[in-house]
Every structure is written in C-alpha cells, then in structure tokens.
Structure 1
Amino acid sequence: MSHWFEDHVLANGVRLHYYRTGDATKPPLLLLHGFTDAGLCWTAVAKELEADYDVVILDARGHGLSGAAANGFTTELLVSDVATVIQALQLQPVSLLGHSMGAHTAAHITRRYPALVRSVLLEDPPWRGFDAEPLSDEEESGLEQWATNMRELQKQPLAERIEDAADFNPYWLPDDVHTWAEAQGQFQVEVFSQGLHQVSREWKAIVPALPRPGLLITGDPVRGAIVTPEVARQALETWSAGRLVNIAGAGHSIRRDRHQDFVTAVRQFLEKNNEEK
C-alpha cells in the first residue's frame, strides 16, 4: 500500500480520515468497516481490487485515524458522514462495500441517497430476526461488558494483540491480523456511550426501499455470523434487485475467514453490475 495516499474530509464537525488507491479513472468503490475496526482492515481486499477500481477506504468517526464522535454516534450521523465523503471526493455514483456496521450504514445511504450509489454490497450486516425495539437489560449489560473488554484489550502491547489474533484466527491473512490488532488500539471506547444502540435496528424497513443492485454476503451463524438463512430469505423476498451469496465456514468476518471466496464473490458481482450499466 506504499503508493496509496491519505487525507481527510470534514463532515459534521469531525475530521474523517481516508486512504485512496489513486486512479480516479477507474470505477469508484468505497469500503466501510465494522464497529471497532478501521479502514485499513480492508487492506487485503483493497489490494485485490485496486487494479480495477478506484478504492477509497474510510475510517468512521471514533475509529482509526478519524476524529472523535463527541457530537454523537448514530445512524443519521454515520450516513451523513459517508454521504459528505462521497460528494467531497466526487465519487458518485459509487459502489459501496460495507461490513457489519458499515454494511448497515451502506444500506441506509442507498435508501436515502440513491443518486450517490451505483450498487451496494453488504457483508453480514447486523440484521437480526426481530423488529426495532429498545435494547433489553441483557443487551445493555452486554455493551457495557464489551466496552470493559475493549479497555482491557487496549492495555495490551500491539505485538501481544497480533499474536493473540493470529492464534485465535488461524485462517486470517497476515494483513488481516495486523490491521485488526492496530484498529483495536485506535478505537475510541467513548463511542459506546454515544448512541450505539441506534445503529442496527431497522433492516425490515430498509430493505424493501433499496433501489440499487445489491449483494448480501452471509456466513455461518454457528461460527458467529449474524444473518441467519431465514433473515436472508426474508430480506431477498423484499429486495427485488438484491442477490445472495452464502460463504460456508465463515463467521461474522467473512472476508477474513474465507478471503478468496469473498473476493471472488465481490469481483463477480461488481463486474456483472458494471457490464449491465
């Protein structure tokens, strides 16, 4: 990635940091990471796609090298942030590829700003089999424990985080291990108190309103993937332009667990969608 360049865009009072592979003559592809990750967690995927796409990799507010989320961390702000970046960098219409929180954000952008989006690819978005409702006491407690665990993780030296990640995830590429470990140290734990519960609750209302071609990429729930076969079936029933790819043996981090299968699915979808335009 030595030839990639980096800069920032000011959005909603926050400096949003990004990397770009550098060839604006190619079709634009914007990568949106998941919660506690950072833009460079897409490094292995970006390396595979940069020959054919103008890849932009964004750090969400409170993540990576972007500014703090002091004025909030809601779906509305995340969506507005990304829309601002798309317009500031003149990427429209852009293909969006998001993981988890980033996938949820990408779906919202596609619904609210269809003129900005060419296609949308969603890696295991946080779509669960229940309707929007307040967090339960158990879920609130789980978030508090997650924040506590993150503070403890950040006390570890980077080398120790890398070693633990490699041991726990034997199928991850070295790029994925290193960038994950670095991102955990950069993550601003204060985000947990800024409205996280608003990020993942509305998929049943979002999906029928998605006006652009899309790919839902799912893994195996027994390995930690969020989207179940039943949720995927319901989503595709109401998303007329959507397609489904299930990658067996992958957990929530599909691209890390089954890198080549993931890249192949993404590449095939993007190539087909570009041919049809």
Structure 2
Amino acid sequence: MRNRTGHIAWQLFGEKPRILLLHGMSDSAACWDPLIPFFTSYGGVVATDARGHGGSGLPEEPLAEAVLAADAAMVLDELDAGPVVAIGHSMGAATAAHLGRIRPDLVSAAVLEDPPTSGRQQHPGGHPAPDWLADLRTLDPQATVDRGRADNPAWPADELPPWARSKHEMDLEFFGRLSQASPPLVDVLGAVSCPVLLLHGDPDRGGIVTAEVAAECEREAGGSLTVRHIDGVGHNIHREARDRYKTVVGEFLA
C-alpha cells in the first residue's frame, strides 16, 4: 500500500528504514519489488515514487536532481528516519548523491547504479518526452510487457510488469519541468562525505558511466568511494545481472 507525504508517494517495508530506494526516470518504487526481500534482509526499507512518477504528484516548479533529493528528505523527515543507505538507479542514483550532499545527516552511505555523469545546463523550456516512452504509452499493458520482454530478453520475468506499469503511470509533463541546471557527478561526489559505492556497466551496452569518469570520481570524491565495474551489462545492472548486483551491494551493506 502506498503512503503519502505531501506530493510524494512511498512504501515502507519492515520497521524504521535503514535503506532508501530511489528509482530511475520513468520507473517507480514498484520497480524495486523483485529486490525487496534482498534489501529487507538488511533492515527496514522505504521506497519512494519520484514526483511525476508512480503515485506521486507533480508540483508546478522547475526540476533538478537536488529538488528530487529534497522530496526524499521530506519523506525521511516525516518518518523520523536516518541516517539511511540511499540506493538509487540512474536518476535515482543522482538523487541519492544529491541527498548526501544537501542532507548529510540523513545519509550514512550511498549506492549509485550508473548515474548520469555530465550534469545539465539550465533549460527554461524543459525537455521533450523521449520518443521511446511516448511509443510505449500507445500500447496496452500486456503489449508493453511483451515489448519489454522482446527488447530486454536477459531481464528476469518479474521485472517486466512493474516496469511496464510505470511507463503508463508517469506524468510526461515531468520532462517539461526538468529545467534547472545540475552539476556533473564528479562535483557532487566531491561534496559528499559518506562512503559511496559506484556501480557501472559497459558503455557499448548502454551504460552511462565510463571507466575514465569512474576514475575521476574516485580521485575527487569527498568521502570513501568504491568503484565496481560489472562487465557484460549496460545501464540496468540490477536487472541484467541481479545476482552479481546483490553480491556487490550486499558486501557494501555488510
């Protein structure tokens, strides 16, 4: 059952959270469902829907990852939780890094799965919704699952229904609000003092983080940064290599 704090919907698993889960763009908190048993073995978990995603609303204000981080902080403050391990994928990974920067009292450590690296210039008009997402939304739910299975044959079957549902739940105006500037990942990590695990795959398979950027982040990080390359996968490491993801993240959480 989804709870709500302000405009943000969230789900709590177990007792007072030790882990915060932050999903990628166009996903939702439900996309973490296949991994909830793994995460709850380390303590309570809260998973949030980013604004404009899942069951969350979309306030009329410009967006950047720091705004999404403030949303996550609002939920943690409501729960009187923290510090937590902030675990994110893609946009959620950038949100986790920004949360560690703006609210270090709430973050004991962070796991960043293939976050955006280059930052973003201020763009008053926002951005258009990507064509691939608009195309998926023309399909019915089962056809969306079928498309996901065809495009991502290595994904476990339980990943596909929440992934497909999230595409139809998202408010496409989110992209039009994504207009504030954001700094490069290396600058954000330079201002984060907690331990960080940075996971990345292969750029030639769709991964964002390159070995060169990972090395630069390792040099400039303000806290202790561990970089782990997961070979043979792209951007969706937890979906393409679930067992290896659980092993690496489990070692970090332990």
Q: Same fold (TM over 0.5)?
A: yes
Contact 1:75 1:198 in 2 (8 A): no
Q: SS where residue 72 of structure 2 aligns?
A: helix
| Higher alpha-carbon deviation: 225-234 or 107-116 | 107-116
Given the alignment, which residue of 163, 176, 184 partners 2:167?
184
Q: 1:22 aligns with which of 6, 14, 17?
A: 14
In structure 2, distance between residues paired with 1:223 and 1:197? 29
For the 8 Å contact 2:86–2:110, the answer to whether it is kept is yes
Q: What's the Cα RMSD here?
A: 1.9
The answer to whether the aligner puts 1:221 opposite 2:221 as a matched pair is no
Q: Percent identity?
A: 32
Q: Which residue of 2 aligns with 1:247?
A: 230
Query: Per-residue CA shift, 1:80-126, capped at 9, x if unaligned?
Result: 11111111112211110011111111111101111111101100010
Q: Distance in 2 between matches of 1:132 and 1:55?
A: 30
What TM-score does the superposition give when structure 2 sets the normalisation length? Answer: 0.92
SS in 1 for 2:111: strand
> How far apart are the structure 2 equivalents of 1:102 and 1:62?
13
Q: TM (normalized to structure 1)?
A: 0.85
How far is 1:145 from its partner? 6.2
User: Following superposition of structure 1 onto structure 2, how do residues 189-208 of structure 1 map, counting pairs within 5 Å?
Assistant: 189-196=172-179, 198=181, 201-208=183-190
Partner Cα distance (2:72, 2:151) in 1: 32
Q: Give the aligned residue type for 2:250.
A: R
2:128 aligned partner? 144
Amino acid at match of 1:203: L
Q: Where does structure 1 lack aligned partners over 5 or more consecutive residues?
A: 272-277
CA distance in 2: counterparts of 1:196 and 1:38, whole angstroms = 21
Q: Is the 8 A contact 2:136 2:144 kept in 1?
A: yes
Name the aligned partner's letter for residue 174 of structure 1.
A
SS of corresponding position for 1:267: helix
Rounded Cα–Cα distance in structure 1 between residues aligned with 2:153 and 2:199: 22
Aligned equivalent of 1:48: 38
| AA matched with 1:20 | L
Q: Secondary structure at the match of 2:136?
A: helix
The answer to whether the 8 A contact 1:69-1:191 is kept is no
* Structure 2 residue identity aligned to 1:124: D
Structure 2 unmatched runs, 5+: none
Q: State the distance in 2 between where 1:85 and 1:48 align.
A: 22
Paired with 1:197 and 1:182, the residues of 2 have a C-alpha distance of: 28
Q: Indicate yes or no: 2:41 matched with 1:57.
A: no
Q: Is 1:230 the counterpart of 2:230 in the alignment? A: no
Q: Report the equivalent of 2:247.
A: 264
Verify the 8 A CA contact 1:150 1:189 in the aligned structure 2: no
